[in-house]
Amino acid sequence: MSALQTALRRTTAVMMPSGIHPVRVWCSTKAVPTDGKFRVLDLKKKSFVPNAKKKYIKTITLPPRSLRMPVDQDWSNVWPGPRTFHPATVPLAVRQGYDQKRASPGKYGNAELMKIPNFLHLTPPAVKKHCSALKQFCTEWPKGLETDEDCDRHFPMTTITTDYCHSSPTIKDPKARIVTIKVKLSTFNLDKHARDKMIRLVGDRYDEETDMLTIVTDRCPTRKQNYDYGIYVLTALYHESNTFEEWERQKQEADMEHYIWENNPSKKAYVTLTRWPQKVSDDDVKSHSIDDDTVGQKYKEAVTELLNNGEDTYTLNKYKEAALAVLLPQNIQS
């Protein structure tokens, strides 16, 4: 830096007051200012291009299809298969959702109607049309199976299996191998000993109210193996129940599941009372039948129900009436 420049800088610093710094401004010497101020030199000019006005094209929206549908149209042609709900196609004022201050939202713009599955493709006329189309591939219904009772009599066993469908790389499901076999115990034609033994063997698989025996097999890897195993279990239970072992002769009255009137002293007391003053032996008690004795049947039923179901108002009153009919038959007749 020359000595002249240094002197000028010092002079400027002395003459200017403190807090004010010199600013260098370049101005055009040829341009004439119009507002009384110096114009700032713009080295980078910006080109301004006005935006072109967009043309507005008005689209013609057709009315909803539901407003143009005839009354006698075939709905199965409008909704032939399962699909998401479409408000312009369904001619119903459907509402779905909840609003605290207003009514439930309508069908237009309603996402709730699109979430849930609908069965608009399974209307009764559509189902009838599908059945008529499949009828040509079906065989006639067998004669003699017009009612459910006929089906249960000819086909007493019911097999239940389940198929699963997944949207995954594999279609296998471990629960598909489970097989459930249901059959009524009365269809086996078992005697008292075999029936009692069968109930003891199956345990809680037998429902006494419906007389239904249910066997569920799932230990084998395939469904066919589980079905064969279930049939094997039923066969083994049937033959084992009809087998009488020597140790079963040691079964006493206290081991019985239910009270049996014929094997208890109650029958002997009743036979002795009805044949009094004759003497009654054990053979007479066993051979005595109450099939034609109405009083004896009511007494047997009352005693059996009292000891099997427990004491309550109903069973006690029933036993009281039966006992009075046995002890005082003349009062009952009068």
- DSSP string covering 233-289, please? HHHHHHHHHT---GGGGG--GGG-SS--GGGSHHHHHHHHHHTTTS---HHHHHH--
- Check residue 13 and give its pLDDT: 46
Instruction: Name the burial class of residue 205, with classes exposed (0-12), middle (13-18) and buried (19+) by CB atoms within 10 angstroms of its CB.
Output: middle
- Check residue 33 and give its pLDDT: 59
Residue ranges per structural domain of the chain:
80-138, 149-250, 257-333
- Angle (CA) 205 312 264, round 5°: 70
What are the phi and psi torsion angles at 266 (to 5°)? -65, -40
What are the phi and psi torsion angles at 110 (to 5°)? -105, 110
Q: What is the mean pLDDT of residues 283-292?
A: 75
Q: Each residue of 192-204: pLDDT tens digit? A: 889 988 998 999 9
Answer yes or no: are the C-beta atoms of 222 and 177 closer than 8 Å.
yes
The fold for domain 149-250 equals: Double Stranded RNA Binding Domain (3.30.160)
Share of the chain above pLDDT 90, in %: 35
pLDDT band at 179 (very low <50, low <70, confident <90, very high): very high
Adjacent-strand bridge partners of 184: 212
What is d(CA 213, CA 186) in angstroms, rounded to the nearest whole number?
10
pLDDT band at 35 (very low <50, low <70, confident <90, very high): low
Q: Which amino acid type is present at position 205? A: R
Instruction: Name the burial class of residue 222, with classes exposed (0-12), middle (13-18) and buried (19+) by CB atoms within 10 angstroms of its CB.
Output: exposed
Q: Which of 223, 231, 217, 228 is nearest to 176 (CA)?
A: 223
- Check residue 8 and give its pLDDT: 47
- Check residue 14 and give its pLDDT: 46
- Check residue 330 and give its pLDDT: 67
Sheet holding 158-160, edge to edge: 158-160, 179-184, 212-217, 206-207
What is d(CA 65, CA 114) in angstroms, rounded to the nearest whole number?
18
Instruction: Check residue 168 and report its DSSP letter.
Output: S
Q: Each residue of 114-144: pLDDT tens digit? A: 998 899 999 999 999 999 999 999 998 889 8
Whether residue 177 has pLDDT greater than 90: yes
Whether residue 2 has pLDDT greater than 90: no
Q: Which of 290, 237, 235, 249 is nearest to 268 (CA)?
A: 290
Whether residue 28 has pLDDT greater than 70: no
Instruction: For tokens 């507005």, name the residue.
Output: 56
What is d(CA 78, CA 89) in angstroms, rounded to the nearest whole number?
8
What is d(CA 197, CA 191) in angstroms, rounded to the nearest whole number?
10
Best-predicted range by mean pLDDT (177-186, 190-199, 293-302) = 177-186
Q: Which of 262, 247, 257 is nearest to 303 (CA)?
A: 262
Q: What is the mean pLDDT of residues 155-171?
A: 87
What is d(CA 161, CA 227) in angstroms, rounded to the nearest whole number?
10
| 132 vs 169: which has the higher pLDDT | 132
For the CA atoms of 224, 226, 227, 233, what is the dihedral angle to 10 degrees? 150
Q: Which residues of 74-92 are buried (b: 16+ CB within 10 A; e: fewer)?
A: eebeebeeeeebebeebbe
| 257 vs 76: which has the higher pLDDT | 76
pTM of the model: 0.53
Whether residue 251 has pLDDT greater than 80: no
